[in-house]
Amino acid sequence: MCGIIGYIGKQKASPILLNGLQRLEYRGYDSAGLAVLEKGQFNALKRTGRVENLRKPVLAADSQARLGISHTRWATHGGVTEANAHPHVSWDGRLALVHNGVIENYKAIKRELEAKGIEFKSETDSEALVNLIAYFYNLELKESGKSHKQALLQALRTALYQVEGTYGIGIMCTDLPEHMIGARKGSPLVIGVGKGENLLASDVTAFAGRTQNVVYLSDGQIAYLSEEDFEITNIDAETVSPHIDTISWDIEDAELGAYPHYMLKEIFEQPMAIENAMRGRFSQDGSTAQFGGLNIDPRELRQIDRILFLGCGTAWHSCLVAEYLIEKYARIPVEVEYASEFRYRNAPLDKNTLVFTVSQSGETIDTLEAQREAKRKGYRVLGITNVVGSTIARENDGGIYQHSGPEIGVASTKAFTAQVHIAAMLALYLGRMRDMSFSEGIQIVNALKKAPGMVAQVLNQTEHIKEIAERFAEKSDYLFLGRQAMFPIALEGALKLKEVSYIHAEGYPAAEMKHGPIALISPECPTVAFAMKSEIFQKSLANVQEIRARKGPVIAITDAGKDFPADLADAVIEIPEAHEVVQPVLASIPVQLLAYYTALARNCDVDKPRNLAKSVTVE
């Protein structure tokens, strides 16, 4: 979950590293550090808190070094202190390392090294790794005939064979002032291929404005970089031929522009994100969806008896929406599992089960490991992800790219609605393959195509939603209630509010309120109630009546217009009346804005909420 970036080239490293860290800060912002190699020694600076705390001392140092590594931390082992911040320098001063991941057996490694007289300065697992590599490096150098490069690469391989856990690392060595090394297992690592320079980072966002050419490292690979070239081997020292990908978005896509926060920017980017998710994905006759990357024959798809969706957090909520829509329109049984639980459950699956993994980043460690477990057991696994070249995308059997563009805000918005819209398209695709009629297919396609314009209509109510958020901002508890496909949106609304405003919030199926949660209803606990025009509209109104009878404030989100009783809620947010497949996307927009403006009213940092990071790459 930490962010790392390294640079080697013809320009001063420090400003480039700082700018990269700024773009990676959504991956962790407990502390930040930077080290450059200059005149045979490391010059390191570390600060707790945000990257901005590091900028002034780094720029004041005005280093001319052209090689450096840097890190923005999301703490796992050890508290938030400068000693625990990265980069970590080995006890002998020869190696510096930045690390994203978790070394699970670091305590045993640390005990062994301390027994050999090696001293530690931090509480981190990462320092154990750099000292282990340095220990083996010193042993390798004692063998005659080995170059510094050969010795360090062999020491790195020996050390990595001994560690348990995950890592994406960048390394500098005082004996190799013209080179930088990277290695990965379980945590993402990408090479940015430039002209007269090369970069190493945990995310392509760090390269924005410098290069659009990238190489995604796979697990067990080691990269050896100079300013003009790079080479990749695996942990067994076998040469790997690199595949260079091109980033499809521009630097402006990752910049704030005129918006005060990335979260708001990305909320307003949703019409385009949904448009991009649909582009080129409808048949010529306009009766069904089509997906070019599934890599599965329609005849095979017709044999599927069950679908399993795996995801975490917001992605898990989009999976729940997929369950409702696919079961209704394609008549295929669907199960949704937390990816973090699936790997350890040994759940029995029918042989004709198709597995979908859903992850915005394509690097979510729990989802990645769940995907590997499903593949290990012989199941066909498809993915829905936003990042081309991500590990999940490279390791599955096929899938669907969202094409949402970079999402920087920690609280996912446009990636979620794009996932939900793709779920609706998938329900259409599978339904038309089975028993959905041509005319119903055309009806759904037309509804899906109207979604971006309808989302824009909801966004026109931003000031109204802001007023509602400010009115209830001081409340400490919230309930979100929805039925059928609105239940996952209730869960997502509660999560968004928790993430960015730190208000305790819970999402429930509306009918379940009477089975316990109704005890929470009071004037101090507002309820966000979804009341959509459907066969259960009157039942939704009855749930709201029960809340009002107990003096609970109600914020209603509805597409019923004048059919929603004006005196039944303290505040009403209207969304356009739309086909059922579009309702979940439209209903998501108000709860995103509600969370955003509530957080602002409570002076919370919406883009960098406490204790959270964007991409969960450690278990």
Nearest partner of 337 among 310, 359, 307, 368, judged by Cα: 310
How many Å is the Cα radius of gyration of the chain?
26
Q: What angle do CA 223, 224, 229 make, to 5 degrees?
A: 110
Tokens of 332: 């295929």
Closest Cα partner for 497 from 542, 465, 519?
A: 465
Nearest partner of 227 among 379, 341, 68, 375, judged by Cα = 68
Angle at 199 between CA 198 and CA 203, to 5 degrees: 145
Spatial distance between the Cα atoms of 416 and 186, rounded to a whole number of angstroms: 24
CA–CA distance, 107 with 113 (Å, rounded to integer): 10
> What is the DSSP track for 496-543?
HHHHHH--EEEEEEGGGGGGTGGGG-BTTB-EEEEE-SSTTHHHHHHH
d(C-alpha 110, C-alpha 518), whole Å: 52
User: What is the helix (H) or strand (E) element at residue 191, kind and residue range?
Assistant: strand 190-193
What is residue 103's DSSP assignment?
B
Order of strands across the sheet that contains 571-574 = 504-509, 477-482, 527-531, 554-558, 571-574
Burial code (b: 16+ CB inside 10 Å, e: under 16) for 390-429 equals: bbbbebbbebbbbbbbbbbbbbbbbbbbbbbbbbbbbbbb
Quote the CA–CA distance of 420 and 412 in Å, as a whole number. Answer: 12
Q: 167 phi and psi, to 5 degrees?
A: -160, 145
Instruction: Please give the distance of CA 257 from its chain centroid, rounded to a whole number.
Output: 22
**Three-state secondary structure of 322-353:** HHHHHHHHCCCCEEEEEHHHHHHHCCCCCCCE
Alpha-carbon distance of 390 to 401, in angstroms, equals 11
Of 313, 392, 386, 402, nearest to 612 (Cα)? 313
DSSP code at position 186 = B
Which residues on adjacent β-strands are paired with residue 450?
A: none
C-alpha–C-alpha distance, residues 131 and 96, integer Å: 9
> How far is the first Cα of the chain from the last one, in angstroms, to the nearest whole number?
10
Handedness of CA 249, 255, 260, 261 (dihedral sign): positive
- Enzyme catalytic residues: 2, 614
Distance CA 365, CA 2 (A): 13
Residue 405 to residue 422: CA distance in whole angstroms: 15
Closest to 137 in 3D by CA, of 121, 115, 160: 160
